[in-house]
Amino acid sequence: MGRMISVEKVYKSFGTLEVLKDINLEVQQGEVLCIIGPSGSGKSTLLRCLNHLEVITSGKIMIEDDLLAEKLDGKNQFKIAHKKISEICTELGMVFQRFNLFPHMTVLQNIIEAPVSVKKLSKAEAVAYAMELLKMVGLEDKKDEYPARLSGGQQQRVAIARALAMKPKIMLFDEPTSALDPELVGEVLEVMKKLARGGMTMVVVTHEMGFAKEVGSRVIFMDKGEISEEGTPEAIFSNPKNERTRAFLQKVL
Amino acid sequence: MDLIISKIPQLLEGAVVTMQLTVVAVVFGMILGLFLALGRLSKNAVVDKICWFYIWIFRGTPLLMQIFFFYYALPLALGKTFSFGAMTAAFIALSLNSGAYLAEIIRAAIQSIDKGQMEASKALGMSYGQAMRRIIVPQSYRRLIPPVGNEVIALLKDSALVSSIGMSELMRTTTQISNATASAVIYLPSAALYLIMTSLFTFVFERLEKKYSVYE
Amino acid sequence: MNKMKRILICLSALLIIAFAATACGVSTGSGNADDTQKVLKVGVDDTYPPMEFKDESNATVGFDIDVATELAKKMGMKAEFISNDWAGIFLALESGKFDVIVSSVSRNEERMEKYSMTTPYIANAQVIVVPAEDTSIKEPKDLAGKNVGVQIGTTADESCAEYLKTTKFTLKQYDQVIQPFSDMKAGRLDAIVVDEVVARYYVKKDPKSYKVSSARLTNEPIGVCFAKNSTELRDQAQKALDELFADGTMKKLSEKWFGEDLTGNVKDIK
């Protein structure tokens, strides 16, 4: 069991607004870490810092043994090349709340785009693997459709396949079911469970407490930019120690 | 009527020049406009300012003045090396001018693309250039087509301004005929030719719009 | 990001080179012709019949065109005509678009000073064109209180401006020489001041609408106009012009275009 992500004393501000305060966190290989908390608590920002979509103000983030960012009061402690950062980020797959599929490409083109243009795979190789992934998410028959012709649940499953096509070691999910109609949530969670069972390291920001309870190996409760409670799903959901965790869970459960 | 028919070949010659001017100005203008737009979107403040300045100048002064500048003023200021023929001066002025307008059209189209598209591209490991080339710019095509169509039609008609430096495009050809025959009736077929040309572009742009709408 | 910037710079450079190349191609092309084939580049505003205009087959023709062609021949050169709007024709001469203007350039004081001109080759009377049925305008002072049209920047325009100082009338200036004629037909103009040869051309085309009145403003001579520093070329042209008068070519050309010899006494006007 290796350490996949390590976050040390991370702070993040947007102007004068401090959204992350003193975040310390480790994620081990094969772990499914669920981050819960009220909106505006900084959980999405934390996730986005992990693959450099947001740049931290201060602190240190390591992905496996590679340094992604180390800053002190907004200044870089080490000059890290753009290329190195891109390389590190391909180890992390990201699934967005609003899918962000490329609307001008078919399902298959969406999936093979990055493997071909970034990883320089041959088109045949990329297509073969894409078809495997589409089979896994149950959408082989939709490979030539444009995203606009798919339901939200189908789009999100394509988005998961697209992220997996880069063979990432870690998958990040940013509220993957929040934009879906209730009857479509299940099919996406099914795919995520399948991934978790396959041993994928996952960090999931979610409002689906059922999923966190069932699949999560660890749960973090964030509030006002801080990690206010951390523990196993059983401990958090059945016996929360923190007053604010309890209040939040009462509202959502 | 006989007069009109006998002058049709002469008018057509002028119309061909008008078409050449329009097509060259649009092609160069699009290339120039794309780079100006990317420059305006660049995080580099100097590049942004330079492109802003360029657009400010070329959109802020009359096209006729720009045509005069490249034809008359440049050789006076810089010597005869820069003494372009009327055709070259017209190509340069129209291209540089349409580049400024198209830059703003392209910039607006690129900025209207959901920023989640850039994030998704970056999350997949694409560089800024790859993301622009493969994901962002292609999506902006469809949104570009209606305003670019407008610009092309405006440009086709504005190209009549180069008659002022003696280029016999459709407008000056018409004036020449009208003066030689002492009759204004020649403006009728000339207007019809302008209409035919603008209709042609309208048709092409409608087809393009349909083509790029398949995924919506 | 850096790569993007590099591509951006490279392509902008390419674009500039492409422009420069086409530009140079054009200028050196005509430059070479100038040296080897001895081309005399002649600027004309070819919208001014019968002096210079486009004929049925879209060729540039007219009295001036013939004069320039004969002049060039005598000078051992070949005339090449470059079309330019009247409004910018002197600017174009100064910026080197052509060597000479042979386009009904009247020899007024200002031009004699700014440019290098030959002696006159035809007289250019400013006549007053009126509607065919008009009887009110018989001499220049009858213009008082009338609407008078001219082409902007022509000597007719200048003489009207001069005449305005002593007589009150409304002066309307037009871009094209045909425009005041159209306006007169539409009933908005009472008189047009214009070169006699041009007046005759248009009146002949439509005698039901116009006539040349007996009133004349000035009698200005027309010359060949070079840039101030082309004295050598001007002297060659002057010599050639004198020969054209001597061998009767000028008389022949005038008869061809105007039906009579209007060049006979022109040498006397100074």
Contact state of A166 with B116 under an 8 Å Cβ cutoff: no
Closest-CA distance of chain B to residue A115, Å: 9
> Rg of the Cα trace of chain A?
18
Give the number of other Cβ atoms within 10 Å of residue C25's Cβ: 12
Please state whether B160 falls in left (phi above 0), alpha (psi between -120 and 50) or beta: alpha
CATH of the domain at B131: 1.10.3720.10
> Which residue of A49, A83, A109, A117 to mutate against B (max B Cβ within 10 Å)?
A117
Name which of C137-146, C212-221, C247-256 the model is least confident about.
C212-221
Structure confidence by residue, pLDDT tens digits, C179-207: 899 899 888 999 999 998 899 899 998 99
pLDDT band at B75 (very low <50, low <70, confident <90, very high): confident
Here the tokens at position B46 are 């100097």
> Rg of the Cα trace of chain B?
20
Among all residues of chain B, which has the CA nearest to that of A173?
Answer: B123
Q: Where are the alpha helices (DSSP H) in chain A?
A: 43-50, 82-89, 107-117, 123-136, 152-164, 182-197, 209-215, 233-238, 243-252
pLDDT for C13 beyond 70:
no
- pTM above the 0.95 mark? no
What was the pLDDT predicted at C267?
66
Work out the average pLDDT over C117-125: 89
Work out the average pLDDT over B180-191: 88
With contact defined as beta carbons under 8 Å apart, do A165 and A133 qualify? yes
pLDDT higher for C259 or C237? C237
Structure confidence by residue, pLDDT tens digits, A9-65: 999 999 899 999 999 999 999 999 999 999 889 999 999 999 999 999 999 999 998
For residue C53, give the nearest of B13, B83, B176 by CB distance: B176
DSSP labels for A116-164? HHTS---HHHHHHHHHHHHHHTT-GGGTTS-GGGS-HHHHHHHHHHHHH
Residues of A in contact with B117 (CB under 8 A): 100, 102
Rounded Cα distance between B109 and B136, Å, is 10
For residue C7, give the nearest of B85, B129, B166 by CB distance: B129
DSSP labels for C176-206? STHHHHHHHHTT--SEEEEEHHHHHHHHHH-
Q: What is the largest CA-CA distance in chain B?
A: 70
For residue C27, give the nearest of B44, B83, B165 by CB distance: B83
Q: How many domains does chain B have?
A: 1
Residues of B in contact with A87 (CB under 8 A): 125
> Which residue of B175, B185, B187 to mutate against C (max C Cβ within 10 Å)?
B175
Contact state of B117 with A89 under an 8 Å Cβ cutoff: no
With contact defined as beta carbons under 8 Å apart, do C223 and C120 qualify? yes
For residue B35, give the nearest of C12, C83, C88 by CB distance: C12
Structure confidence by residue, pLDDT tens digits, C47-77: 999 999 998 888 999 999 999 999 999 999 9
Query: HEC profile for B154-202?
Result: HHHHHHHHHHHHCCCCHHHHHHHHHHHHCCCCCHHHHHHHHHHHHHHHH
pLDDT band at C27 (very low <50, low <70, confident <90, very high): very low
Rounded Cα distance between C16 and C20, Å, is 6
- Among residues 137-166 of chain A, which lie with CB inside 8 Å of chain B? 146-148, 162-163, 166
Work out the average pLDDT over B131-147: 93
pLDDT for C258 beyond 90:
no
Residues of A in contact with B119 (CB under 8 A): 53, 96, 100
Work out the average pLDDT over B5-15: 91
pLDDT for C26 beyond 60:
no
pLDDT for C20 beyond 70:
no
Structure confidence by residue, pLDDT tens digits, C213-236: 988 887 778 999 999 999 999 999
Here the tokens at position C85 are 């709007």
Domain ranges in chain C with CATH number 3.40.190.10: 33-123+222-258, 125-219
Closest-CA distance of chain B to residue C96, Å: 7
What's the mean pLDDT when you consider all of chain C? 84
Here the tokens at position C111 are 């031009």
Contact state of C15 with B28 under an 8 Å Cβ cutoff: yes
Please state whether A55 falls in left (phi above 0), alpha (psi between -120 and 50) or beta: beta
Residue-range definition of the domain harbouring residue B24? 2-215
Among B199, B206, B207, which Cα is nearest to B15's?
B199
Structural domains of chain A, with CATH: 3-250 (3.40.50.300)
How high is the ipTM of this complex?
0.91
Closest-CA distance of chain C to residue B210, Å: 30
Sign of the alpha-carbon dihedral angle for A225, A229, A233, A238: negative
pLDDT for C80 beyond 50:
yes
For residue C54, give the nearest of B6, B76, B180 by CB distance: B180
Does domain C33-123+222-258 fall under CATH 2.20.25.240? My reply is no
Here the tokens at position C166 are 């002593």
Can you say how many angstroms the Cα of residue C207 is from the centroid of all Cα atoms in its chain? 24
CATH of domain C125-219: 3.40.190.10
What was the pLDDT predicted at C19?
47
What was the pLDDT predicted at B85?
84
What was the pLDDT predicted at C81?
95
What was the pLDDT predicted at A181?
93
pLDDT higher for C21 or C117? C117
pLDDT for C21 beyond 60:
no
User: Which residues contact residue B74 at a Cβ distance below 8 angstroms, ignoring those fewer than 6 apart?
Assistant: B82, B83, B84, B89, C95
Work out the average pLDDT over C81-95: 91
